[in-house]
Structure 1
Amino acid sequence: MISEIDRKIRTVVDELVNDFPGDVDFAGSDEHDRHVNAAATHARADILVTDNTRDFGDPDLLPYDLYPADAFLCLIDDGAPACVRLVTREQNSYWQERRSVGRVTTSLLDALRRAGCPHFASRVDRHLRAPSGRG
């Protein structure tokens, strides 16, 4: 099971950082985020997605942009709404299937809201309400 998950992650992720120097300067307030900063800096990441943006210090001093998950997902929807609509419909089917077989679960929209993505959940709701085949 874990090897299958690992394979899927490696299929969709642009870069995995397996090793990085730990001596990268970090002005953030949470020492536990030092390794995240070091990995992102070493990988020359353009964007770091974290809901913990306040602990990274002054964003203007970072070599990457910080985005909370909700804002990042909305950014993706801004740039590729047709792709988001397609994935939204697939994910909605997945969540409905889980309910139909009696698994205790919630809806896709509720899951997104509980994960701290209320703005993206609203966009997903609009995608689900839009007629098929329209942008």
Structure 2
Amino acid sequence: MYEYLLAKAFLGKSPEYEMGLLKEIYSIVPLEDEIIVKAALITNKLLKNRQKMPSSEILVGVTAILKDGLLITEHPEAYNPLRKYGLDVISTEKFIEELNELIVKFSEETSRANVKEPARG
């Protein structure tokens, strides 16, 4: 979110206004002590295994882990090291495909349920 707001500010937009829009659309999770501590512990383990990840990705991933959330991202492979800690991550493209499949299935089921059988006489 920081990078997004920075880009908007660079383009001459109001970060405060953009933040307000984001809050209307998304549930924004504040950076809590629990997230910071868990991120530090996981980062320590990753570094001991010679795995590097940007701090921002670790914080996002750990937030999803602790909040039992599905992380939807353009680059799910960047979060692979966090999968062993319970991260559920999916690409945006795959998420949209699965969502479309559910919509089609739901529409078909609804259509079948609405079809009335002919009256028997």
TM-score by length of 1: 0.45
From the CA coordinates, give the structure whose radius of gyration is larger.
Answer: 2
